[in-house]
Amino acid sequence: MPDWTGLIELCLEAALLALAFAALYEGARRLAALGFTRWTALLLAVGLAILAYEGWASLRLSRTLVLLSRQPAAMQAAEPPGGWERAPLSAAERSKASLNAAALNFRLTGKRGSVLDADGNRVPFQPSDQDLSDRDSLVHGQKGTEDAATQFFERGVRLLACAAALLAIGGAVGFTQRHRAAR
Percent of the chain with pLDDT over 70: 95
What is the distance between the alpha carbons of residues 25 and 166, in angstroms, rounded to a whole number? 5
What is the distance between the alpha carbons of residues 27 and 174, in angstroms, rounded to a whole number? 9
Q: Domains of the chain: which residue ranges? A: 7-72+154-182
Phi, psi of 78, deg, nearest 5 = -110, 155
Quick one: pLDDT at residue 139? 82
Return the exposure string of 45-69: e unless at least 16 CB atoms fall within 10 Å of the residue's CB, then b.
Answer: eebbebbeebbeebbebbeebbeeb
C-alpha atoms less than 13 angstroms from C-alpha of 92 in its C-beta half-sphere: 0
Lowest mean pLDDT among 42-51, 86-95, 100-109, 146-155: 86-95
Res. 72 pLDDT band, cuts 50 70 90: low
What are the beta bridge partners of residue 114? 124
Signed CA dihedral, 30, 35, 36, 39: sign only: negative
Q: What is the pLDDT of residues 93-105, one digit of tens each?
A: 877 888 888 888 8
Distance (Å) of CA 25 to CA 15, 45, 89, 91: 15, 11, 71, 74
List helix spans (H) across the chain: 7-34, 38-70, 91-109, 129-182
Quick one: pLDDT at residue 85? 72
What is the distance between the alpha carbons of residues 63 and 9, in angstroms, rounded to a whole number? 24
Q: Is the pTM of this model over 0.85?
A: no
Q: What is the mean pLDDT of residues 130-140?
A: 85
Q: Which helix (H) or strand (E) is 114 found in, with range? A: strand 114-116
Q: What is the mean pLDDT of the chain?
A: 85
**Is the per-residue pLDDT at 2 higher than 60?**
no
Distance of CA 59 to the CA centre of its chain: 7
